[in-house]
Amino acid sequence: MPVFEIAVVVLLVLINGVLAMAELSVVSARPARLRSMADNGSSGARIALSLAADPGRFLSTVQIGITLIGILAGAFSGATLGGRLGEWLRDMGVSPGLADGLGYSLVVAAITYISLIIGELIPKRLALQSPERLASLVAPGMMLLSRVAAPAVWLLDISSRGILRLLGESGKGDDSNVTDEEIRAIVAEAETAGVIDPEERRMIAGVMRLADRPVRAVMTPRTDVDWIDLTDDPDAVRQTIRETHHTRMPACEGTPEESVGVIDIRDLLEAYLDGETPDPRQFVKQAPVLVETAGALDAMKVLRHAETPLALVVDEYGSMVGILTPADLLDTIAGTVVFDEGGQVKPDVVERADGSYLVAGSTPIDELADVLAIRLPQDSSFHTAAGFMLHELKRLPQEGAAFEAMGWRFEVVDMDGRRVDKILVARAVTPRRRAPLMG
């Protein structure tokens, strides 16, 4: 029995499997995890990072090894095992001309099958399951192989780069190849695997949304802002303080457009409790001013260093269009919490039994897009569901106004004055085509 020949072929197949596993594990390994392992003292992880940093050289090394193993396995198995099998077939009565060819073909087919299973598929499946751990294990051997085969590796690497240049490619990958979609996919996968909770996933998504939003999309609009009119008499100011539940309010001269600063209600209330009749102007503090088109992250930096954690948001004409507080930014990350008159939480989007959604007009449009699984233009000028309705209808709607877009039907079901308050979103019904009459 050709034990030695079989052992050699099995060894070659196993080496091929190690090379295939090394190729996929190093390419699939996440650099952040490899760096963490390297920081914890893993020399294999450091070598794997250096191999991944020069993919052309690494892939040339792997291809040289796999090609040589394939040639050796085919030649050796055909010359030895194929010949022995041919002799056995002749002894079994098969004609000599047919026995040699049949023996060689059967051996090559068997070796190819074993190589595909043991030398390719299984190692690559293992590499996909634990890429970082396996990359750290095989990296030292791959580094040694690249040094031994340095001349051939250099020739293959320089040849492939030259051909890529002729094709108009630089041969270098884009450094910023991680997209928002990939990050969301990783987070969703982590939630499915139980690594993070659903609430954590929503907060991570909120942080990503915050980075993409301007101040106008996260501020409290002027129509919802309680403010103190410095031209009012003391009794009117005291009544305003009693009716508000805020601790800080903008101070304005007659109209919200003429905002001059912020008043801390506790300071003013303390003066009233002491029996005084204070002048509200003496309690006005300077507040940071933000342009409505500024980024939300830039606004966060301003609020972090501001003496008063309330910023006045102005438009291009300098008029106040809203205010921004840390609570507004937190709502974007953790989710907006709205309470009804009874003190109960009122969600922005409510899914109904028939699969439709009842949506508040103030719902951020990117959150609604996530719920409906639709993609909106990146340069859209609207930031809420109500703004989307106005953008599509091109007019101030009345109750019952509707349109269809992106596979959904949007209908205004409630108006609060001139504000779109409630929207009904349902799947669009595609009319059925009549079948042609058969003559």
Structure tokens at 196: 């993070």
pLDDT the model gives residue 439: 40
Same CATH topology for 213-334 and 349-427: the answer is no
Q: What is the C-alpha separation between 239 and 247, in angstroms, rounded? A: 15
Contact 273, 289 (CB under 8 A): no
Total length of the chain = 439
Does the reported pTM lie above 0.75?
A: no
| Contacts of residue 309, Cβ cutoff 8 Å, sequence gap at least 6 | 248, 303, 325, 326
CATH 3.10.580.10 correct for 213-334: yes
Contact 307, 283 (CB under 8 A): no
pLDDT the model gives residue 250: 92
What ranges in 29-167 are assigned the alpha helix state H?
31-39, 43-53, 55-76, 82-91, 96-116, 122-129, 131-148, 150-166
Q: What CATH code is assigned to 349-427?
A: 3.30.465.10
Helix (H) / strand (E) containing 80: none
Q: pLDDT of the chain along its 439 residues, tens only?
A: 467 777 777 888 888 888 888 888 888 888 878 888 888 888 888 888 888 888 877 888 888 888 888 777 766 666 666 667 767 777 677 766 677 677 767 777 787 788 888 888 888 888 888 888 888 888 888 888 888 888 887 887 788 778 878 877 655 555 445 666 667 777 777 777 777 887 777 788 778 878 878 898 889 888 888 899 988 888 888 888 888 888 899 999 888 888 889 999 888 888 888 778 888 888 899 999 999 989 888 899 999 888 888 999 998 888 888 999 988 888 877 765 555 555 454 677 888 888 899 998 888 888 888 888 888 776 677 888 888 999 889 888 999 999 998 889 999 999 988 889 899 999 987 654 444 444 4
Q: What is the C-alpha separation between 425 and 356, in angstroms, rounded? A: 6
Of residues 53, 54, 51, the one with CA closest to residue 22: 51
Domain boundaries of the chain, sorted by first residue: 3-166, 182-210, 213-334, 349-427
SS3 category, 398: coil
Of residues 128, 147, 133, the one with CA closest to residue 42: 133
Contact 310, 248 (CB under 8 A): yes
Contact 290, 324 (CB under 8 A): yes
How many other C-beta atoms are found inside a 10 Å radius of the C-beta of residue 3?
A: 7
CA distances from 424 to 344, 353, 385, 409, 427 (A): 22, 13, 11, 8, 10
